Structure 1
Amino acid sequence: MSSGLRYGWTTGACATAATTAAYTALLTGEFPDPVTIDLPQDKHPSFALAREELGEGTATVGIVKDAGDDPDVTHGALVSATVTLAAPGSGVTFRAGDGVGTVTKPGLPLAVGEPAINPMPRKFMTEHVAAVAARHGGTGDVVVTVSVENGEELARRTWNPRLGILGGLSILGTTGVVVPYSCSSWIDSIRRGIDVARAAGRQHVAGCTGSTSERVVTELYDLPEDALLDMGDFAGAVLKYLRRHPVPRLTIAGGIGKLAKLADGHLDLHSGRSQVSTESLAAMVRDAGGSPALVEGVRGANTALDALQQCTAAGLPLGDLVAAGARDTARGVLREAPVEVDVVVIDRGGTIVGRS
């Protein structure tokens, strides 16, 4: 990979490897170590076993998750699968062990009451169980219980509590591979957040860039927790998903720096991927009738906050101009979708400095 960053493996890939090794040990008495699995895109990673236990009709394997160079909360977590022989014809049944959550709200790709093991990891595990059964003369009828050490603790640092996944983490992954800094799990969480809000009948959701803007919006509109989308830098992800799955009203809330980027047409607000253009802010000020001296001052500003302070002193509402620009960008992405948008711009202290 050209960037020099290491790929990693999802919790779903780790659970699949653990399941494969445990079921192999159940049928042969031997744990394959390392255990190799087959993933999409012709990938065949091998995993060292960190834990192995063989009992009467049951086996457990633990694998330490390696997320590569991605800043993943589950990097280094011990993902275990306990495979227990089940009645003939029962197929593969999944259960949530310690540290794996249970679905409690509608709107997710799993039914309420199901363990939070996503459809793709279930498919991987089911296929690998069938392959092991074919190789070693098993029936393929098993109960697979997946657990993650300290998973309940780790889950507090994820979206799970807000999505109604209680008791632990979700077992995730569509390809089995973690691409460093692809942020795919964050974007997936935004989409699941919108699904849950829609299933709960919410008419108003808020995409917030951080905890301060979330607090401001909660106070402003008295929104319930499942209507709050932890948008972070991914304004585009929120808008594109709402275009296909609309909610009648969207509030976008964030600091003036992030929303100045949105006003400038950027849909990814991360500092490494887009910059505040003081040139664009200066053009806004000029179009709003700001004095030539103010236009020059804003053009030379260090930050969006610096520009805001200059404009506030001159009596020009830059925050409102940024909010209006951000709203225009949002409406452009939403196109014809039946979503009303308003924008709330705040400063670092959480004071509202602009609205549209």
Structure 2
Amino acid sequence: MEFYEKQLGYVNVDGKKLRRGFTTGSAAAAAVKGACSLLKNMEEEHPIELELLSKRVLYILPKGYSLSDDNKTATCSVLKYAGDDPDVTNDLEIIAKVSLASHKDIFISGGVGVGTITKKGLQIPPGRPAINPKPLELITKEAEKLFPNGGIDIEISVPNGIEISKKTFNPRLGIEGGISILGTTGIVEPMSEEALKSSLRAELVMKKRDSLGYTFGNMGEKFIISMGADKENICICSNFIGYMLREGAALGIKDILIGGHIGKIVKLAGGIFNTHSHVADAKNEIIASNLALMGAPLKLIKLVMDSLTAEEALSYIRDYGYESLFDILANIAAQKAKRHTYDEVNVEIIIFDLKGNPIGTSRQAEKLLERLG
């Protein structure tokens, strides 16, 4: 759509111009703002001006508005725009219904087509709608602008969300009844695998030094920085940790500290060096086999094998008092990562949980961390 192309622009991927898009989180927040504006001012906003958490401003077209006869409930809908990213949620209608309430809060719920979290281990506790923290923050921010004293109920719904969710990983993650409202930055960046690898290597070349920190994404970067590392000594590798290990070896890097969530690091312990779930996912099997070698009870091993996420498995391991497993996994992952570089690079590992707590380290990880400060 030309309206969005002019705002969001393009990225060059393998010689092709691909359009950026915006996330389901941005669509939901824009719909909330549209409904709040109508309820507060009795006027439709067109287009909807949305300030993202990054302070970037988007203008999003509403699909439609409605206001109840008693002027106490307003709805606004927005069509998700994915640009040229292959996203099953593209063009999906996302609706926000905002109603005046007697309480003093801003209460946000999920309606039809928005999934519900049924298992622990995700960023959202069981029983809550699958609206991730950053979109929830953006929705709340927009609602507070017009209703600073609260007093409203907000319901996000996606009419075709149940059907579309069957084409996502939600059912495997224990998210039932619809899609998730996602998006950290609010913008969708279409990118091919080779283009992403090229950009990752470019950063690696720029930051080349004897010792570096590797992370899988922004969460890992923040974690290592919080432990004392300098941001300039950290490279983000996405899922291509094996590629980046060998590129680091080719550039002559001597020591690499990998900091990551257990869900990623445990794959390295199993010799999986592209950590995307579409490539391989044997987290439960790797954790369970190492627990078995420790003599863990069969009941715990079965709980791990039935876990939908590594974070859920982690909670059972803690309950049974087998936290020493995390250091074991860190050391195994470090050994296999070193072997992946043909023993040219010394690799150390720090594992953290979703709350950002360090839970496992390889033998020399803390010493290497000091050198990254």
Fold in common (TM above 0.5): yes
User: What's the counterpart of residue 15 of structure 1?
Assistant: 28
Measure the CA separation in 1 of the matches of 2:349 and 2:342.
10
Q: Does the 8 A contact of 1:193 with 1:226 survive in 2?
A: no
CA distance in 2, matches of 1:151, 1:81: 14
Contact 2:98 2:154 in 1 (8 A): yes
SS, match of residue 226 in structure 1:
coil
Q: Determine if the alignment matches structure 1 residue 49 to structure 2 residue 118.
A: no
Query: Given the alignment of the two structures, is residue 87 of structure 1 paired with residue 102 of structure 2, yes or no?
Result: yes
1:144-191 CA-to-partner distances (Å, cap 9, x unmatched) read 11112321222222222222221111111122111223899x979998
Residues 65-74 or 14-23, more deviating? 65-74
In the alignment, the residues of structure 1 paired with residue 167 and residue 262 of structure 2 have an alpha-carbon distance, to the nearest angstrom, of 15
Give the direction of change, closer, same or farther, for the CA distance of 1:177–1:192 in structure 2 (3 Å limit).
farther
| 1:252-291 matches, cutoff 5 A | none
Q: 1:163 aligns with which of 168, 173, 176?
A: 173
Q: Give the match for residue 347 of structure 2.
A: 332
1:146 to 156, 161, 186: 156
Kindly tell me: are residues 21 and 152 of structure 1, through their superposed partners in 2, closer, same or farther at Cα, counting changes over 3 Å? same
Q: TM-score, normalised by structure 1?
A: 0.56
Aligned to 1:226: 308
Q: In the alignment, does 2:141 pair up with 1:131?
A: no
1:120 to 122, 126, 134: 134
Residue matched to 2:44: 31
Distance 2:188 2:100 in 1: 31
Call closer, same or farther: CA 1:179–1:83 in 2, change over 3 Å: same
2: CA distance, partners of 1:88 / 1:110: 24
Aligned CA distance change for structure 1 residues 101 and 331 (closer, same or farther; 3 Å): farther
Question: What SS class does the counterpart of residue 106 from structure 1 fall into?
Answer: coil
CA contact (8 A) 2:121 2:310 kept: no
The whole-number CA distance in structure 2 between the counterparts of 1:17 and 1:27 is 15
> How far has the Cα of 1:102 moved from its partner?
1.0
Deviations 1:52-82 (A, max 9, x none): 2211311111100001221122111111111
Say whether 1:103 aligns with 2:117. yes
User: Is residue 2:191 matched to residue 1:181?
Assistant: yes
Q: Is the 8 A contact 1:78 1:148 kept in 2?
A: yes
SS of the equivalent of 1:62 reads strand
Greater C-alpha radius of gyration:
1
Q: Note the C-alpha offset of 1:330.
A: 11
Whichever residue aligns with residue 67 of structure 2, its letter is L
Pairing 1:60–2:75 present = yes
AA partner of residue 306 (structure 2)? P
Aligned equivalents of 2:276, 2:124: Cα separation in 1: 28
Structure 2 distance, partners of 1:206, 1:226, is 21
CA spacing shift, 1:122–1:330, aligned 2, 3 Å:
farther
Q: Distance between the aligned counterparts of 2:61 and 2:182, measured in 1?
A: 20
1-side partners of 2:166 and 2:327: how far apart? Answer: 27
Q: Tell me: CA distance 1:330–1:46, structure 2 relative to 1, closer, same or farther (3 Å).
A: farther
**Shift in Å, 1:6:** 2.0
Q: Assess if the C-alpha contact under 8 Å between 1:73 and 1:157 holds in 2.
A: yes
- 2:57 partner SS: coil
Normalised to the residue count of structure 2, the TM-score between the two structures is: 0.54
Seq. identity, %: 32
Separation (CA, whole Å) in 1 of partners of 2:137 and 2:185: 11
1:194 is aligned to: 263
Secondary structure at 1:173 match in 2 = coil
Aligned AA for 2:61? A
Decide whether aligned partners of structure 1 residues 224 and 81 sit closer, same or farther in structure 2, where only a CA change above 3 A counts.
same
Check the 8 A contact 1:19/1:125 in 2, yes or no: yes
Distance (Å, rounded) in 2 between the aligned partners of 1:23 and 1:36? 13
**Given residue 134 of structure 2, which amino acid in structure 1 is its aligned partner?**
M
CA distance in 2, matches of 1:19, 1:331: 50
The 8 Å contact of residues 23 and 132 in structure 1, kept in 2 or not, is answered as yes
Deviations 1:77-124 (A, max 9, x none): 1111111111141x1111111110111112222222111111211211
Question: What SS is found at the alignment partner of 1:15?
Answer: helix
| Alignment partner, residue 351 of structure 1 | none
Inter-CA distance 130–225: structure 2 relative to 1 (3 Å threshold): closer
Distance 1:107 1:64, change over 3 A: same
Distance 2:115 2:261 in 1: 15
User: Counterparts of 1:150 and 1:327 in 2: how far apart (Å)?
Assistant: 49
Residue 338 of structure 1: CA displacement? Answer: 5.2
2:18 alignment partner in structure 1: 5
